[in-house]
Amino acid sequence: MFHHALRLHYAGNFLKEKDRLTFYEKKARFEKMNALHPTSKVNMLHVSINFHPSETISEDLIKSISEKYMQGIGLPEQPFLVYQHFDAAHPHFHIVTNLIRPDGTRFRTNNLGRNQSRKAADALEKEYNLVKAKEQKRLAFEVKAVDPKKIRSAKVEVKKSIQEVLRYVLKEYKVASIPELNAILAQYNVQADPGKMGSRVNTHKGLLYKVIGEDGRATTVPIKASAFPFKPTLINLEIKFAKDKELKKDSLRGIKTRIDWTLRGQPETLEQLQADLLKEGIQLIIYQNTQGRIYGATYIDYKSKTVVKGSDLGHDYGAKGLTTRFNGVPQELHPSEAIDRLEQMDKPARRPPKLPTLEVKQKRSPDKLQLEGHILQPLTDLLRPEEVYNALPMELRPYKKKKRKKR
């Protein structure tokens, strides 16, 4: 499966352009700054800048806002990376920067969210005519994914966590089947399980909800659908599916148009297609068997909050069409694989990679431009095992003539 939920948009105050920066160059830049104040326990800052769902953000806008935001909070000369995240329905991006100045002093973050950050946000909202955070209600998209590593096994807590996700997804998203529902639930580490064919749960049209890990396997005890107060049972879901099937028709044309527009860019691989679609607010989930053969494709449109099976958009958008476009003529499934295909469709896709888990010390607020995180130490998505690295780009390094060995 391929997932590209995070994209580097800009690298501020680095010696190279973002597309030429390697992983180790990003890592070393921050570590070199941190070394100037080795006793500091707070040396990295993570900021999430969020927009109203009705707004569209371009790469130029992201660059401009991030630069002005860094200037507004008093860190214009610090190195910073800007990533756009596609894990939610609303547009947003993240800024990761360093708090240690070149002279070795540390930038203080006391009341940063309430003072400098809020003032910078207000100024940017006015300058770019953005929807003001104060005029927005506490939006439903702020629901968080269940963390299977942190959640306790207590049944009450499991139920509460799943319930929060279900309320949001079932209210906001249009889905017409269990596989489509699981495609979006997987983004929150939750799965709806109707049971295997012939099982007691499946025979009696039952439905279980589970918290799942990165491998798609349940990490906690399953909860019966009937145990939730709003009764998200299979019978009630089928009523929703029938209604949503009609409601989705108004969105399919727009989704198809945006996919066609993306395909006109001639992406060379499925991975590139997925990355390009994310820029349009569409997440393409590819289902593959153990041999790597594609047997399904599902599209999640975060703008219209619609989940649709690829084949429902047309032959070219489903598994066979994508396989033909990127891998040549598709092979027919072996009979034994046909059964596996049906069962696999009910399994959730791995949810996109996320930025490091943050210890949030300030309460969340509906601020569109808000200081959401606090400390990243270390940057788990950037800081990996050390390699020897020269901070100066190759083009700027002095030429050294090699000495010939004497014979």
Q: What is the pLDDT of residues 210-223, one digit of tens each?
A: 988 877 788 888 89
SS3 content of the chain, % helix, strand, coil (to 5): 35, 15, 45
In this structure, what DSSP letter does residue 386 have? -
Structure token pair of residue 204: 């009696």
> What is the 8-class DSSP label of residue 276?
H
Amino acid 404: pLDDT? 63
The per-residue DSSP string of 188-232 comes to: GTEEEE---TTSHHHHTT--EEEEB-TTS-B-S--EEGGGSTT--
Q: Look up residue 169 and give its amino acid.
A: V
The SS3 call for residue 257 is helix
Instruction: Find, among 56, 193, 194, the residue nearest to 128 by Cα.
Output: 56
d(CA 211, CA 196): 18
């352009």: which residue's tokens?
Answer: 17
The torsion angles phi and psi of 54, rounded to 5 degrees, stand at: -80, -10
Q: Counting Cβ atoms within 10 Å, is residue 375 exposed (0-12), middle (13-18) or buried (19+)?
A: middle
Please, how many CA atoms are within 13 Å of residue 18, restricted to the half-sphere of its CB? 13
pLDDT of residue 192: 94
- DSSP β-ladder status, 223-224 and 190-193: unpaired
Greatest Cα pair distance, the chain, in angstroms, is 87
User: What average pLDDT values come out for the chain (407 residues) when binned by 10 residues?
Assistant: 64 91 88 90 83 80 93 93 74 87 89 80 87 47 48 62 90 94 91 90 91 81 91 95 94 90 86 89 89 90 94 91 74 44 45 35 36 36 38 51 59
- Please tell me the predicted confidence (pLDDT) of residue 382: 35
Least Cα distance to 225 among 246, 249, 204 occurs for 204
Looking at residue 202, its pLDDT comes to: 87
Cα torsion 377, 380, 381, 383 to 10°: value is 80
End-to-end CA distance of the chain: 56
Write the Ramachandran bin of 357: left for phi over 0, alpha for psi from -120 to 50, otherwise beta. Answer: beta
Q: What is the side-by-side order of every strand in the sheet holding 223-224?
A: 190-193, 208-211, 223-224
Contact yes or no for 168/143 (Cβ under 8 A): yes
Dihedral sign (CA 250, 253, 257, 258): positive
Alpha-carbon separation of residue 120 from 52, 58, 93, 116, 123 (angstroms): 17, 20, 16, 6, 5
